[in-house]
Amino acid sequence: MVQGAEGKMKSSSGPADAEAVKVVVRCRPMNEQETANRHERVVDMDVDRGVVELRNVKAADSDPRKTFTFDAVYDWNSKQQELYDETFRPLIDSVLSGFNGTIFAYGQTGTGKTYTMEGIRDDPEQRGVIPNSFEHVFNYIARSSNQQFLIRASYLEIYQEEIRDLLGKDQKRRLELKERPDTGIYVKDLQQFVCKSVNEIQHVMTVGNQNRAVGSTNMNMHSSRSHAIFIITIECSTMDERGRGTIRVGKLNLVDLAGSERQSKTGTAGERLKEATKINLSLSALGNVISALVDGKSTHIPYRDSKLTRLLQDSLGGNSKTIMVANIGPASYNYDETITTLRYANRAKNIKNKPKVNEDPKDAILKEYQEELARLKVLVL
């Protein structure tokens, strides 16, 4: 779990029940370049059954298609709001109840990961997971009574295996990963900003996006050259009939992974090639972690092989409810990359997490506020 502050959390309900990582697949439409070059669409999706079929144009007609089944699949006609309401809304509700949650988009470069996660913010119909989650959280708070909320936001990127605070004043500064027995993994000195409205948290994200590493390749004019994680920490204080207070803290990781790349297709060279090499290494490390988790025989999970896997340690096999969105393209030209993504996603759905409610953590800021108010009341009296 990504943490910018240190503190121990306890479960409110004893041992956590195992829960599988939820995996959904989304396929974008054919783009203009694919249509102009007369590539065939080789992906078929049965949305009702959650099935993806992949046809290899180089294989004989008698060869069976590759078939995969997932928790849900969304084809090229899917709408952003439909995806959010069906797949992501329940997870955000859980975070508002004190669970940790992670949503991450994985796939080849140019398959729509950033569109799925961010979308077009100024168009309500094309807003992605992140802006929709902002609306969801603050609408929930507005309707809540007898509860106090504190919302904090952080934003980081992993660029060439270095962690950068996208909200920091010094963009050249590299942050360190730390670990403590009582806190797990956290990012030392990662800034957090209190947000009181949708506009405030959107502003935080806009500032961070302006500092993100992007570049142009043959396959994507605005290719993400880093992995980005937007973290929302939601503290909720509730008072029961006897006046006893409970604080629950949910953390939401919204992860936009850089796309896997083949140099022969992207045409990268120089600095872009160096970036691609680092991206592919960290994604390979992520694949190794997923394989080790579902293998059943592995006694060692290689979380330490990359900064990305260290940061996602709780999200994969730990204390988190996690959804993976596998983004794919429909064209025959990308058959190999598409089947690689689907196999990756097919393994991930076998990961078991142990999410639990985080209750009364020692580092809860609302707790500090309440204690300070109590001290002030004593002084006044």
Is 112 one of the annotated binding-site residues?
yes
**Structure tokens, 369:** 């506020």
Q: Residue 98, annotated ligand binder?
A: no
SS3 93: helix
Query: Which position has the token pair 């089944």?
Result: 69
Is the distance from CB of 52 to CB of 338 less than 8 angstroms? no
Q: Which residues neighbour 75 within 8 Å (Cβ) at sequence distance 6 or greater?
A: 27, 45, 47
How far is residue 89's CA from residue 252's CA, in Å, rounded to a whole number?
12
CA atoms in the 13 A half-sphere facing the CB of 310:
17
Q: What's the helix, strand, coil split of the chain in %, to 5? A: 35, 30, 35
Please check if 183 is assigned to a binding site: no
107 is in an annotated binding site: yes
Known binding residue 184? Answer is no
At residue 65, φ and ψ (nearest 5 deg) are -75, 155
In angstroms, rounded to a whole number, what is the distance separating the alpha carbons of residues 369 and 381?
A: 19
Pick from 282, 318, 297, 324: nearest CA to 3: 318
- Residue 357 neighbours by CB distance under 10 Å: 20
**Does the annotation place 111 within a ligand binding site?**
yes
Tell me whether residue 178 is annotated as binding.
no
114 appears as a binding residue in the annotation: yes
E strands in the chain: 10-11, 19-20, 22-27, 43-46, 51-54, 66-69, 72-74, 101-107, 147-159, 162-165, 177-180, 184-187, 193-195, 214-217, 220-224, 227-239, 245-256, 321-328, 352-353, 358-359
Positive or negative, the CA dihedral 157, 163, 168, 170 is: negative
Provide the annotated binding site for ATP.
107-114
Annotated binding-site residue numbers? 107-114
